[in-house]
Amino acid sequence: RFCAVSRLALRCDRCSYSIGDVVLAAVALHCPVLRKLSVASCAFGAPGILAVVRRCPLLEELSLERLCGLDSLLLVDDNDAGGNAASSLLQSIW
C-alpha cells in the first residue's frame, strides 16, 4: 500500500504510546523504496533499526533523535556472517 514512499518522518509524543520495533519493521517491509527516514522521540531499539537497514536497500539517510528504547546502536546481526547488515547505499546515520 505504501510501496512508493521514499521519504518518511516519524515524530512521537513521549507522553503517549510510541512506535516500537514491530511497527518500524512493518514500515520497512511496506516501504521498499524508502530513501530517507527521520525518527524522533520513539521507543524502538536496535531490532527495529536493523529491520529498516536490511529491508530498505535504497536507504541513503537515517536520522535518529531522542530514542527511548535504544541503549546502544548495533547494526551488525549475529546471523550475518559478513557483518554487512546495512544498506549499501546508506550514506549517513545521525
Residue-wise pLDDT for 30-58, tens only, equals 998 999 999 888 778 888 888 998 999 99
**Residue 40: domain span:** 7-73
Nearest to 8 by CA among 32, 91, 21: 32
Position 64 scores a pLDDT of 84
The answer to the question of residue 93 being in a domain is: no
Q: Give residue 59's pLDDT band: very low, low, confident or very high (50, 70, 90).
A: very high
pLDDT tens, 1-17? 678 889 999 888 766 67
The answer to the question of residue 58 being in a domain is: yes
Indicate the number of domains in the chain: 1
Percent of the chain with pLDDT over 90: 28
DSSP letters, 1-58, are: --TT--EEEEE--TTS----HHHHHHHHHH-TT--EEEEES----HHHHHHHHHH-TT
Instruction: Using CA atoms of 16, 17, 18, 23 in order, give the dihedral in degrees to the nearest 10.
Output: -160
> Of all helices (H) and strands (E), which one includes residue 65?
strand 61-65
Position 65 scores a pLDDT of 81
